[in-house]
């Protein structure tokens, strides 16, 4: 079954710690995305990558970092510099041309206390 | 900056009626617009895409319109069912590869 896997589903961390969220896809898609969703709100773009070894900042990149060393993987690190890290994080991928839709994982809910 | 706005208020309708959701955008002329459905605790799922040269697109009970003059898309669900209850999101590609979303509208269909 092709798809996007985010792990873990729930993650708890203490304030001041960096944490890395995993995102893996076996759809052979070139582009991958990270979004953040807060309660009752839409998705805000953190980072995106259109090809391996390249990525761009989205609208709320401060306090986050990414890498894209492999086509199938796009991990997101939430650093201690992120002021309000508690949120629902969604990873997506896209293949084909620019009209192609996003395929989302089922998210990681991060709680920082 | 680019902005997408959807009705933030939840939409409550009776089963069998038509639900109409609105997506407005500013400061951009998108080549297409996408609609997604999101259930609680899950990732969004793609529903429909409509291009700038298409006035209307249909898929089963779903219909999307796109008015580039008004900078607005309408999303209709006809003969709504309780199973249609979810949050619906619209999305635009504002730069190559960069897709942004509206805040979503939650639809509640009552039996």
Contact B43 A107 (CB under 8 A): yes
- Coil vs helix vs strand at A63: coil
B45-58 per-position pLDDT tens digit: 999 999 989 989 99
Contact B101 A41 (CB under 8 A): no
Task: Return per-residue pLDDT of chain A as tens, 113 residues.
Answer: 569 999 999 999 999 999 999 999 999 999 999 999 998 788 999 999 999 999 999 999 999 999 999 999 999 999 998 999 999 999 999 997 778 999 999 999 999 99
Assign B1 a pLDDT band (cuts: 50, 70, 90).
low
Contact B49 A99 (CB under 8 A): yes
Q: Which of A44, A98, A102 is opposite residue B96, by nearest beta carbon? A: A98
Rounded-to-integer distance, Cα A30 and Cα A93, Å = 8
Backbone angles phi, psi at B82, to 5 degrees: -55, -30
Q: Which two tokens stand for residue B18?
A: 């038509």
């Amino acid at each position: 079954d092709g798809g996007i896997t985010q792990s873990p589903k729930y993650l708890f961390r203490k304030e001041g710690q960096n944490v890395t969220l995993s995102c893996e896809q076996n759809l052979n898609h070139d582009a991958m995305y990270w979004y953040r969703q807060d309660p009752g709100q839409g998705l805000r773009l953190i980072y995106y990558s259109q090809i391996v070894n390249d990525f761009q900042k989205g609208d709320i990149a401060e306090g986050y970092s990414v890498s894209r060393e492999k086509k199938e993987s796009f991990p997101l690190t939430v650093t201690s510099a992120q002021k309000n890290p508690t949120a629902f994080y969604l990873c997506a991928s896209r293949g084909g041309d620019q009209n192609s839709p996003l395929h989302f994982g089922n998210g990681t809910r991060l709680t920082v206390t | 900056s680019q902005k997408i706005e959807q009705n933030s208020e939840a939409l409550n309708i009776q089963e069998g009626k038509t639900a109409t959701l609105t997506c407005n955008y500013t400061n951009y002329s998108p080549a297409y617009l996408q609609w997604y459905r999101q259930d609680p605790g899950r990732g969004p799922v793609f529903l429909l895409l409509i291009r700038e040269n298409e006035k209307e697109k249909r898929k089963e009970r779903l219909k999307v319109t796109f008015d580039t003059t008004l900078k607005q898309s309408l999303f209709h669900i006809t003969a709504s069912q309780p199973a249609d209850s979810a949050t619906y999101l619209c999305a635009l590609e504002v730069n190559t590869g960069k897709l942004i979303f509206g805040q979503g509208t939650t639809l509640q269909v009552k039996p």
